[in-house]
Structure 1
Amino acid sequence: MNLFELNDNYRKVEALFDDGADVSEQVLKDTLESIGEARDTTLDHIAFLIERNTAKSDFYAKKIKELQLAKKSAENTVNRLNAYMTSAMDDAGLKELQTENHVLKPRNYKASVVIDNANAIPGQYMVTKITSAPNKSVLYKDLKTGEEIPGVHLKPNRKTVIK
């Protein structure tokens, strides 16, 4: 197999991930084994794919945070502009205003409850929530000592470090 064919085969492996599909382990394994290249070369290309996808994941996480901040900013702007518009119409005593592009009608909606000091609220208005969740650190310690616990098992967690 010449270098061009080899590069083309690894581009096909990369393309499996580029369309956003979740590729099964078996499909990935079969695809990589079909290339028929030496283990070192194949593992080196896999390391490249891992680095590339880690970078993409980091980029997407950063982009999501940026977009969430932009969304929150837009929502806050909408709320401030709406409050100003409603206040301006209330101050003018207008129940409806028809402009060239819009019909504006201030409306009353259900009032919002604002908690100024939760400690000052009488007990009859308080709700106590009790939640339970497995204590993973205690479960881990007991499972590690060999104890068998129904509904729980240890799953090996091995990964290869890329440097």
Structure 2
Amino acid sequence: MNLYELTGSYLNLLQLTQDGEIDEQAIADTLASLEDAIDQKAEGIAKVMRSNSALIDALKAEEKRLAERRKALENRNESLKQYLASSLEAIGVDKVKTATHTIGFRNNPPAVSVLDEAAVPLQYFITTQSLDKKSILEQLKNGEEIPGVTLTVGRSLQIR
């Protein structure tokens, strides 16, 4: 039986006990066998999760290694691009055509360079608004009521 079926059997047993349709010895025997089976299934699921966690850690390490390698290649390409640009500018060449590539300079669209941020008028600043959830939590724990929020307590499955 899988965990879904065991859960259904357990719930059916609870319903039968509430209805009084089953004797106490049958309840005890059935409950013991269901609990043992559920314990075994839960143990199996926990083992799979632990194995998955090890694989997740290995994948994260590999992602980090690949990201570092990608970043090194991106930096190398940027360095090569700057080297080529400075060499072409030094000799006064704006365009190079080869059999496979056309290399040249182009003008970029206008961009803003900020010289002194303090001198810029406030109308050009963007402000973002976010809730101070730590402060809200503290006040709710102290019994204060805050419109638009409520204190909730969730549950999470913990496997040790």
Identity among equivalent positions (%) equals 24
SS at match of 2:4: helix
Say whether the 8 Å CA contact 2:46–2:159 is kept in structure 1.
Answer: no
Task: Note closer, same or farther for the CA distance 1:101–1:141 as it changes in structure 2 (3 Å cut).
Answer: same
> What is the TM-score with the length of structure 2 in the denominator?
0.60
Structure 1 distance, partners of 2:97, 2:39, is 73
Task: Note closer, same or farther for the CA distance 1:69–1:133 as it changes in structure 2 (3 Å cut).
Answer: same
> What is the TM-score with the length of structure 1 in the denominator?
0.59
Say whether the 8 Å CA contact 1:89–1:95 is kept in structure 2.
Answer: yes
Hey, what does 1:123 align to over in structure 2? 119
Which structure: larger Rg? 2
The answer to whether residue 127 in structure 2 is matched with residue 153 in structure 1 is no
Say whether the 8 Å CA contact 1:143–1:154 is kept in structure 2.
Answer: no
In the TM superposition, what is the alpha-carbon distance from 1:59 to its structure 2 partner?
2.5
Hey, what does 2:137 align to over in structure 1? 140
In the TM superposition, what is the alpha-carbon distance from 1:111 to its structure 2 partner?
6.9
**Structure 2: which 5+ residue stretches go unaligned?**
9-33
**Structure 1: which 5+ residue stretches go unaligned?**
2-8, 10-28
Greater relative contact order structure (CA < 8 Å, 6+ sep): 2
RMSD: 3.4
Report how many aligned residue pairs link the two structures. 132
Say whether the 8 Å CA contact 2:6–2:38 is kept in structure 1.
Answer: no
